[in-house]
Amino acid sequence: MNSRNGIMWSIAVLLCLIAIPKASAQSPASAPSNTDLQERIRQLETQMAEMRGELDRLKRDTAKTEPQIVPISATVADSSSPASQATKQETKPAPKVIGIDLGPVRATPYGTIYFNAFGNSGGTNNADVPLFATPTNQGNVSMSVRQTRLGLKLEGPTIAHAKSRGQVEADFFGGFPAVGVGENFGIVRLRLAFARLEWEKTSLEAGQDWTIFAPNNPVSIAAAAIPQMAAAGNVWARLPQLRLEHHWASGKVLWQGAVLAPSTGDSPTASTSPFFLQPTTGGASRVPFFQSRVAFSDGNWLGTKKGGTIGFSGQYGRARVANTAGNNKIDAVGIAVDWNFPIVARLTINGEAFVGRNLAGFQAGAFQGFNPDFAYRRGTTLISGGPRAIGTRGGWMQFGFTPPTLSDRLTIYGTYGLDDPRDRDLVSLTKRDWRLRNQAVAFSFLYKFTPQLSWGIEFRRFDTFYLQSGKQTSNHVNLGAAFSF
């Protein structure tokens, strides 16, 4: 009200100034001269200009200090206007940032809760995430949450012009306590634990991470703790390693090289306690694993406006088999090609193909690495040849189709995998029921209610061929749900 009173007083003063010369002009005795009258008019014009400026200033101050009263109907009618939308965006609360500052390091927790209800028509080596069919015909049905994983991502300070970060991740797939209800008390298992320095084009990493040899995995809500098609064409591992990476051509070309722990997939040579580490045949060789990979990527693969990648990788290692006759040093080598790219806008293809020997550390060779008492055939006679690496070849391929409905929430997958060990490497002095071939086919769909909540159903069929038991078949059906944060 103070500003309004000031305006009223200003108007009153202005009227008085106008009235004074009029009253003087009505008195003949005091009629001013023309010079005085012109001077008074000039002064009056100056005062009026000053009053206009004061009124404009008072109006501006009043508009700033007094709130506007807008009718409710007008607010509702204009709620869809660009101005109201901008106001909504400005007043919307800022998103919550999850993280904990630990001095110069910021830690961000993450995880995925998995629920799986499953059934098997016949025997498998593992009930909830099977790799191959077994000669037993014992079907089963159950539920599990032990594929649930929890992790922590770390962002550290800049070191030598490089961004530092780390990651640690674990799940509950490490076995069971030796009690009657132990199947529901999954033991924690380490998945990832590494530190990494990242420059503009080069990265250096130390810790346990996915290997760079054949790094792809199929999409599956049923097989998360062990990737789908493992031992059926999908070679994979997470190993301690030192890794170096470098990008060329604006990031389109990637080279990776790593020195890794020599994990050959066999049992330790000696073990007195599960807490004491003893060397496997890989560690006994005193030679680490070496891997390298070159990959080519494009953000607009074949004009689909989606990214695609194709890579070529190699693996070399060695194993030393103790207490055996002949040459007890055998190689663990392999080469692979991997791809992941769209065929058309809504159809993608993902897969790998490999060839090698003694790759049980990557669950290849139908999870068989070497033959400890290999034998040559001379007619009907078997002659000892000492330990021999099992050669194998295989691969897997997955098609993913997203129908143009349901806001791209539904994806349908079809996958096929094959691992075919070399038969002549499976001749042994001791009678063994070697797995001659393992193949699997899977069909599934994955539906996302939200980016965090998904569910799906997967069907997998295993056909495993044995040297003694013949063909074994098992069907696996899995209803899965996952909540990520």
Contact between 365 and 392 under an 8 Å Cβ cutoff? The reply is yes
pLDDT confidence tier of residue 346, bands split at 50, 70 and 90: very high
What percent of the chain shows pLDDT beyond 70? Answer: 81
**Considering the domain boundaries, does residue 87 fall inside one?**
no
Task: Determine, yes or no, domain membership for 86.
Answer: no
Residue 197 CB neighbour total at 10 angstroms: 18
Predicted pLDDT of residue 475: 98
240 and 284 share one domain: yes
Looking at the structure, tell me whether residues 110 and 219 fall in a common domain.
yes
Do 234 and 291 fall within a single domain? yes
Residue 64, Cβ neighbours under 10 Å: how many? Answer: 7
Task: Indicate whether 128 and 41 sit together in one domain.
Answer: no
- Parent domain of 257: 106-484
Q: Give yes or no: residues 59 and 177 share one domain.
A: no
Within a domain: residue 368?
yes
Query: Is 100 part of any domain?
Result: no
Tell me the pLDDT tens digit for each residue of 179-229.
Answer: 988 889 999 999 999 999 999 999 999 999 999 999 999 999 999 999 999
Question: Does residue 426 sit within a domain?
Answer: yes
Query: How many domains does the chain contain in total?
Result: 2
pTM, to two decimals? 0.78
Q: Is residue 256 a contact partner of residue 293, using CB atoms and an 8 Å limit?
A: yes
CATH number at residue 363: 2.40.160.10
Same domain? For 160 and 60 the reply is: no
* β-strands 253-260, 391-401 pairing: unpaired
**148 and 18 share one domain:** no
Q: For residue 473, which amino acid is it?
A: T
Residues 156 and 200 in one domain: yes
Residues 140 and 68 grouped into a single domain: no
| CA atoms in the 13 A half-sphere facing the CB of 35 | 0
Question: Is residue 91 assigned to a domain?
Answer: no
72 with 170, same domain: the answer is no
Is residue 89 one of the residues assigned to a domain? no
pLDDT of 69 reads 36
Q: Are residues 58 and 143 in the same domain?
A: no
Tens digit of each residue's pLDDT (9 = 90 or more) over 419-465: 999 999 999 999 999 999 999 999 999 999 999 999 999 999 999 99
Residue 61 has a CB neighbour count (10 Å cut-off) of: 13
The pLDDT tens digits of the residues spanning 300-338 come to: 998 888 899 999 999 999 999 886 665 688 999 999 999
Last residue of a domain, one of 77, 97, 116: 77
| Domain identity same for 42 and 161 | no
Residue 207 lies in a domain: yes
Q: What is the pLDDT of residue 59?
A: 61
